[in-house]
Chain A
Amino acid sequence: MSIELKNVSYLYSPGTAYEMRALEDINLVIPEHQFIGLIGHTGSGKSTLIQLFNGLLKPTGGQVFYNGEDIWGGDVSRKDLRSQVGLVFQYPEYQLFEVDVFKDVCFGPRNQGLDQEEAKRRARAALEHVGVPEELFGRSPFELSGGQKKRVAIAGVLAMDPRILILDEPTAGLDPRGRDEILRQIRALHETRGITIVLVSHSMEDIARYVQRIVVLDRGHIAFDDDPRRVFSHYRELEQMGLAAPQITYVMHDLRDRGVPVDVDVLTVEEARDNILAVLKGKGAGHAT
C-alpha cells in the first residue's frame, strides 16, 4: 500500500501566459503505516503534491505509482485509487452538502457501491472515531462549529475506509484545544486503524510531536525528508524558507550556546523540561529523553 513518485513535476496552465511551475523533479516514497508530516510555506507546492497522490491531478512529467502500478498507466481505476487514498481538503465547507451529518458521511461509502446498511455502519464507525457525538448525527452540517465541521469532513473520507489518509491543514482556523484534540484523534486513527497518515501543515510546532517523518517542500522541491529531530537541526535553513523549527528548539540551542549541556534534539516542551531538569541535577546531558 505504498505511494511512490518518480521524477514528478507539475506545471499549471502549460503553454499559456499564466504558466506556473508548482513542482519539479519530486522523488518520494510513502510506505505503509507511516505518519508523515508534509510541511511547506504557502505556495511551496504542498496542495499540488497531495492531489498527485490520489490522481486528482495528472503530473506533467514523471510517474506516480500506487503499489507499484503507474496510476496513469491505463488499466488503473482512479475511482478505486481514490477510495484507497483518502484526501481531506482544508475547508470542510467545500464538501459538506447533505441535509444532516450522518447522510453526508454516508456519501463516500455509497459512492463506493456499498449497500445502505454497510454504508451506515461505516459512517457510524467513522464518526465515532473522530469524536462526533451521536446527538449531532441528525443536525445540518452547516449548523456545526468549525471544529465539528472538520471532524465531519474527516469522517466523510474515513468512512470510505482508505489505506492512506491525507489531511490538508486539518488544524487551520482551530483554537489550540480544538487543534490538539484533532491531532490526537488523528494519531489514534494511525494507531488503531493502522493506516498511513500524511499531515499537511505549515507549522512545525503543531506536528512535531506526532509525526515519524517530515518532508519539507520549498518552492516545488523537496528540501528535507527525514526524522523530525534531524529536520529541526536545520532550523537556520528552515527560517530561510519562511518556516521555523518548534520554539523549544530555539530555547535549547540558546541554552547550549550559553554553556548548558542540554540535548538540542528534543521535540516537545515536556521532553525539554525533563532534559533540563536532568542536566540541572547533574546527571549529564546527551540523549537522555
Chain B
Amino acid sequence: MLRDITLGQYYPVDSVLHRLDPRTKFIGTLLFVASLFLFHTFPGYGVATLFLVSMIFLSRVPVSFMFKGLRAIFVILLITVAFNIFLTPGRVLWQMGAVKITYEGLIQAGRMAVRLIYLVVGSSIMTLTTTPNQLTDGLEDLMRPLKVVRVPVHEIAMMMSIALRFIPILMEETDKIMKAQIARGADFETGNIFQRAKGLVPLLVPLFISAFRRADDLAMAMEARCYHGGEGRTQMKPLRYKGRDMAAYCIVIMYLAVSVVFRVRGI
C-alpha cells in the first residue's frame, strides 16, 4: 500500500554522482537549469541532452526512475504545450475557426517542453543520488551567509531534517493505522467526498496523537542531550570538498560556458 511511496526518492547505489558533495550537486543542478534557459536553439538542446544523458549514465540509477518525476508535472506540461501551440502568433500551418496552429507555436511549444522535462529530470538526478539529510546539510552550508541578516539557518535546516526524518515513519504509521481500521471494517475508498472525509477520522486521530507524542519524545530526548540551537555546534560529518568536486565544478562551468557562447553567438 503506502509503503511504495518514497518522498525522499534516494536511490541507493554507489556511483560518482552519489559520492559528490551535496553542495556541488546543488550548485551543479542550478547551473544546469540556468543553461536550459540560455540555450534557445535545437543544436543547443543537443548539447544539453548530451550532458543530461552522460549524467544519467554516471548516476547508475535506472532510467525509469528519472522519468517518474515527470508524472507529477504531466498536466502542467500538457497545458504549457497546448497554450504555446495554439496561442503563439506567426506563420499559420493549420486553421479551423478561431483555432490555429503556427510554425512559431510548434517551435515554442517544443522548446518549453524540452526545458520543463530537462528541468525535472535534472533535479531528479540530484534527489536520486543525494540522501535528504545530505541535501539539508548542503543547503545549511550554502545558506550560511544569510545568518548575517539574522535568518535562523541552522534552525531551519534542523526542522527540515527532522521533518524529512519523520516522513517515512509517519507514512509507515499511516499504513499501519489504515490496516488496523480496515481490519475493523473501515472503508477509505468508496462513498462521496463527505463520506470519505468522515471516513478519515479513524485514521487521522491516531495519526495526530502519535505524531504529537513523537514530537514530545524527540524534544525531550534533544533537551536531555543539551541541545540549545546552532550556536557553537559542530557537525559529526562536516562537508569537505574533495578532488572530484573540483573536477565536477570544472565540468559544469565548462558546460555553462558553452551555453553562454551559444547564446552570444546566437546558435
Contact = CB atoms under 8 A, between A and B. Distances in A.
Interface of A: 12-13, 16-17, 51, 54, 56, 79, 82-83, 86-89, 91, 93-97, 107-108, 111-112, 142, 156-157, 160
B183 A54 contact: yes
Given A82-B185, A142-B209, A157-B184, 20 more contacts: A12-B3, A17-B11, A17-B12, A56-B183, A79-B187, A86-B183, A88-B183, A89-B176, A89-B180, A93-B209, A93-B210, A94-B180, A95-B180, A95-B202, A97-B205, A107-B186, A111-B184, A111-B185, A111-B187, A156-B184
B13 A82 contact: no
A94 B209 CA distance: 10
Contacts of A83: 185
Query: For chain A, what secondary structure do more than half of its interface residues adopt (helix, strand, loop), or is it mixed?
Result: mixed
B206 A108 contact: no
Contacts of B244: none
Interface string B166-196: 0000000100110111111111000000000
A93 B212 CA distance: 13
Contacts of B205: 97
Contacts of A160: 184-185
A196 to B, nearest CB: 16
B201 interface: yes
A89 B187 contact: no
B206 A93 contact: yes
A16 to B, nearest CB: 8
Interface residues of B, number: 23
B223 interface: no
Nearest to A86: B183
A44 to B, nearest CB: 18
B4 interface: yes
A102 to B, nearest CB: 15
Interface in B206-222: 206, 209-210
Nearest to A156: B184
Interface centre among B12, B173, B186 (most CB of A within 10 A): B186
A94 B184 contact: no
11 contacts: A12-B3, A16-B4, A56-B179, A56-B183, A82-B184, A83-B185, A93-B206, A95-B180, A97-B201, A107-B186, A108-B185
Query: For chain B, what secondary structure do more than half of its interface residues adopt (helix, strand, loop), or is it mixed?
Result: helix
A24 to B, nearest CB: 19
B4 A97 contact: no
Given A56-B182, A82-B182, A94 B187 contact: no
B4 A95 contact: no
Contacts of B13: 17
B156 to A, nearest CB: 30
B185 A112 contact: yes
A88 B187 CA distance: 17
A111 B180 CA distance: 13
Nearest first, the 9 closest Cβ-Cβ pairs linking A and B are A111-B185, A97-B205, A95-B180, A108-B184, A87-B183, A94-B180, A89-B180, A94-B177, A97-B202
A97 B206 contact: yes
Contacts of B209: 93, 142
Contacts of A156: 184
A97 B181 CA distance: 10
Nearest to B173: A94
B17 to A, nearest CB: 15
Contacts of B4: 13, 16
Interface string B105-126: 0000000000000000000000
A51 B179 contact: yes
Contacts of B206: 93-97
Contacts of A93: 206, 209-210
Interface centre among A79, A97, A157 (most CB of B within 10 A): A97
A83 B184 CA distance: 7
B232 to A, nearest CB: 38
A143 to B, nearest CB: 12
Contact of B177 (A17, A54, A82, A95): A95
B208 to A, nearest CB: 10
Interface string B3-24: 1100000011100000000000
Contacts of A51: 179
A82 B183 CA distance: 6
Contacts of A17: 11-13
Contacts of A112: 185
Given A95-B177, A97-B202, A97-B205, A13 B3 contact: yes
Nearest to A162: B183
A139 to B, nearest CB: 15
Contacts of A16: 4
A144 to B, nearest CB: 13
Nearest to B181: A95
Nearest to B6: A18
Contacts of B210: 93-94
